[in-house]
Structure 1
Amino acid sequence: MTTHEELLARLNADLPPTGILLGAEILELDPAGRVRMSFVATPAFCNPNGTVQGGIVAAMLDDAAEMACVADAGKRIFVATIEMKVSFLLPAKAGKLYAEGRVIKRGRMIAFLEADLFDGEGALLARMTSTAAPRAF
């Protein structure tokens, strides 16, 4: 059986390419299906208005929700997003951002996930809900 610390270390060591691109790090992991992550939004992720492009914000939220699903499963799985909805509440700026992902319900074939994105001061920037299909890897 994998311990909590072993799972956290393994997930950080085996981030997907998108997580590496986004400068992701899993800060906290709850085996009950919750994670807290940080991301580094570089100026290259910004639109001409100087704020992080919405697709990048959605990718950060998607990664956090999927990692929560992996934590909930407690083993190596692939989580394919079926659909997602993102509400953009405040503009995200370049710098360190934080996401909290959580599993609302995970069944054998479908999982219902959520994630929130915050700036360094704790302001809620965006919220995502998604449906995903967890699969053995």
Structure 2
Amino acid sequence: MSLPDDELLQRMRKRQAPTSALLGMELVALDSAAGTCRFRMEAVPRLCNPMGNLQGGIIATALDDAAATACIVKAGRRVGVPTIEFKVSFYGPAPMNSEVFFDGRVLKLGRTITFAEADMTNADGKLLARLSTSVMLVEVEGPGHFVEEGASDQQKGNTP
């Protein structure tokens, strides 16, 4: 049985993917019927390149997490979503200390393979990057690997 979106949002905010926790991504919205989600993140200095912008690999990781979360939300059941392939296009920089958003959406939910996208925008809504991906939906057994709300920096992997 599927949870209402407000309950699903609260549950997913309490048990976060380790990479989302590491990057400081905050899940702020989701719509299970549409297969969409939105994360908010600060471009903190430790995630930036020497030019003072959010590093491309960090962006790709955050976009991948947003697309995967949209797939999980749309599936309506407990699934893992290993990435089969993805492509990222960069349209503009995300300067250090700026706020950015990652919007994931399912394009086509299949029984095994799902197609999704995710966009990174700035606070003004300007498109900065887009990821296109295909993922495999797999049943998850056991507790999974999550970071619990209120976990220490060591548990999140944020120790030097």
Greater per-residue strand proportion: 1
Query: What SS class does the counterpart of residue 62 from structure 2 fall into?
Result: helix
CA distance in 1, matches of 2:122, 2:18: 23
What is the aligned-residue identity percentage?
46
Shift of 1:135: 1.1
Report the TM-score, using the length of structure 2 for normalisation. 0.82
Query: What SS class does the counterpart of residue 92 from structure 1 fall into?
Result: coil
Q: Any idea what the Cα deviations from partners look like across 1:26-63, whole Å, max 9, x if unmatched?
A: 11111120111112221011111111110000011111
Corresponding residue for 1:30? 31
Corresponding residue for 1:68? 70
Corresponding residue for 1:87? 89
Query: What SS class does the counterpart of residue 60 from structure 2 fall into?
Result: helix
Q: Which runs of 5+ in 2 are unaligned?
A: 141-160
CA distance in 2, matches of 1:104, 1:35: 13
CA distance in 2, matches of 1:40, 1:80: 26
Corresponding residue for 1:100? 103
One-letter code aligned to 1:120: A
In the alignment of these two chains, the number of paired residues is 137
CA distance in 1, matches of 2:104, 2:63: 7
Shift of 1:81: 0.7
Select the residue among 113, 121, 125 that pairs with 1:122. Answer: 125
Query: What SS class does the counterpart of residue 16 from structure 2 fall into?
Result: coil
CA distance in 1, matches of 2:112, 2:40: 28
Cα pair 1:100 1:115 within 8 Å, conserved: yes
One-letter code aligned to 1:9: Q
- Matching of residue 109 in structure 1 with residue 112 in structure 2: yes
CA distance in 2, matches of 1:39, 1:75: 26
CA RMSD, Structure 1 to Structure 2 (Å): 1.0
> Which 4+ runs in 1 deviate beyond 3 A?
none
Shift of 1:96: 2.0
One-letter code aligned to 2:102: A
Corresponding residue for 1:4? 5
